[in-house]
């Protein structure tokens, strides 16, 4: 029996920031015979999903379900809310922030990039200064938890200052945070928030979600960018009848229904708390092992750790996987070999983080 076969028959502990482990309840629902999406049965599911997604985002606004990855849903916000030449601020403090600079540029927007080192995050003062220098910006894009560096941005306080200083829309990439980190769409007066299925929501990738404030929906009318598949107006048109404009990823919606019921039953505040506790535990253990946290603003969704001198990334992940069944994530881009990432989002029991930390200790020895 070679290593690979060993792993094949071993329990897997997935601590990657998407996909995250799928609960058996979700798998079971995805195993139901497939139903037609233009049927009363499906609309009943979609109706429940729509309502529970509002609970997830803590909003009374519609939450639209798209069949795409989170990147697709982010694109939908640019092409529905803006016109070529319009100015927006985008914070780039990691791989995803960088994408939210490049993507709107591709669509002809005038992007003011606020660039930070990976692991760093914008302060309230930074945003205030940027808004004073560019009073005509139409939106500020922020990443709540930058998956690439595990960095937290204080969306709540920054949203306050944006509203005080300007009428720019507050647009949040919540892909890595929603479901795992406190986010209150209505109370924090956010205008746009996006997430996807394979992170805090505990289902496989393939679905993404967008919610928008009333004033964001109002802005859609002025947008001159072409769109079709990602036309959120078409989604809003059929939202009230629990329909989607195109064939949705039905089995994933069935799984989502089960996942959202689990989240609702536990309570979203309880989930935020658990994620925080698990993250605190991992951070404290990492320090106890003499390792250095990479991010200056560690998030409760992903912990990023610098490789100590002499530890080789490839071998590290290989031993963890083959000997312990543990999957951490590599770094991305220039940090590929320099950091590793331990995700806390998704379907995890507390003691699994003990397993993770035990594996980490062993592999370092």
- Judged by CB under 8 A, the chain residues 70 through 89 that form the site for a copy of itself are 70-72, 75
CB of 224: closest distance to a copy of itself in angstroms?
Answer: 11
By CB neighbour count within 10 A (0-12 exposed, 13-18 middle, 19+ buried), where does 210 fall? Answer: buried
Binding residues among 234-253 for a copy of itself as defined by CB under 8 A: 246-252
The DSSP code for 334 is G
Question: At CA 225, angle to CA 223 and CA 144, rounded to 5?
Answer: 75
Size of the site for a copy of itself (CB under 8 A): 51
Q: Which single residue is written with the structure tokens 């940027």? A: 130
CA 200, distance to chain mean position in Å, is 7
Residue among 1, 2, 221, 226 that touches a copy of itself (CB under 8 A): 226
* Residues of span 168-207 touching a copy of itself by CB under 8 A: 196, 198, 204-207
Q: Does 33 bind a copy of itself (CB under 8 A)?
A: yes
Q: Return the residues of window 120-179 that contact a copy of itself according to CB under 8 A.
A: none
Distance of alpha carbon 112 from alpha carbon 110, whole angstroms = 7
Binding mask 299-338 for a copy of itself (x = CB under 8 A): ----------------------------x-xx--------
Locate 348 and state its tokens: 């995890």
According to CB under 8 A, which one of 82, 152, 230, 307 is a site residue for a copy of itself? 230
Binding segment for a copy of itself (CB under 8 A), chosen from 22-30, 133-141, 276-284, 298-306, is 22-30
Given 59, 61, 68, 92, the residue binding a copy of itself (CB under 8 A) = 68
> Reading across the β-sheet that carries 339-343, which strands appear in turn?
292-293, 302-306, 339-343, 329-330
Identity of the residue, 102 or 287, whose beta carbon is nearer to a copy of itself in the bound complex: 102
| Residue-by-residue DSSP string for 45-111 | HHHHHHHHHHHHHT-SS-EEEESS-HHHHHHHHHHHH--TT-EEEEEESSHHHHHHHHHHHHTT-EE
Which tokens belong to 142?
């922020």
Q: Which residues bind a copy of itself (CB under 8 A)?
A: 12, 14, 16, 18-19, 21-22, 27, 30-31, 33-39, 67-72, 75, 102-103, 106-108, 196, 198, 204-207, 225-230, 246-252, 327, 329-330
């Amino acid at each position: 029996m070679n290593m690979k076969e060993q792993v094949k028959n071993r329990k897997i502990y997935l601590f990657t920031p998407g996909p995250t482990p799928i609960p058996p309840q979700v798998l079971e629902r995805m195993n139901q015979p497939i139903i037609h999406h233009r049927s009363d049965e499906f609309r009943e599911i979609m109706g429940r999903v729509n309502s529970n997604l509002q609970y997830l985002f803590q909003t009374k606004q519609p939450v639209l379900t798209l069949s795409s990855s989170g990147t697709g849903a982010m694109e939908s916000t640019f092409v529905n809310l803006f016109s070529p030449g319009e100015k927006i601020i985008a914070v780039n403090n990691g791989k995803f922030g960088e994408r939210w600079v490049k993507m709107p540029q591709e669509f002809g927007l005038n992007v003011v990039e606020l660039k930070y080192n990976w692991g760093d995050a914008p302060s309230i003062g930074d945003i205030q200064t940027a808004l004073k220098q560019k009073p005509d910006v139409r939106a500020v894009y922020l990443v709540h938890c930058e998956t690439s560096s595990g960095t937290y941005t204080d969306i709540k306080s920054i949203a306050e200052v944006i509203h005080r200083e300007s009428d720019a829309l507050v647009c949040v990439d919540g892909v890595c945070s929603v479901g795992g980190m406190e986010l209150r769409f209505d109370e924090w007066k956010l205008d746009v928030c996006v997430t996807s299925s394979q992170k805090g929501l505990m289902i496989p990738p393939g679905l993404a979600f967008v919610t928008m404030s009333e004033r964001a929906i109002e802005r859609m009318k002025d947008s001159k960018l072409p769109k079709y598949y990602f036309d959120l107006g078409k989604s809003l048109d059929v939202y009230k009848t629990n329909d989607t404009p195109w064939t949705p990823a039905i089995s994933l919606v069935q799984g989502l229904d089960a996942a959202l019921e689990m989240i609702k039953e536990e309570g979203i505040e309880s989930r935020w708390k658990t994620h925080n506790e698990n993250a605190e535990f991992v951070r404290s253990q990492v320090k106890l092992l003499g390792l250095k946290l990479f991010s200056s603003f560690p998030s409760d969704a992903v912990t990023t750790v610098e490789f100590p001198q002499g530890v080789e990334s490839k071998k590290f992940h290989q031993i963890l996987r083959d000997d312990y069944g543990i999957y951490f994530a590599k770094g991305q881009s220039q940090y590929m070999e320099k950091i590793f990432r331990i995700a806390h989002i998704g379907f995890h029991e507390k003691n699994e983080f003990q397993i993770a930390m035990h594996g980490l200790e062993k592999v370092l020895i």
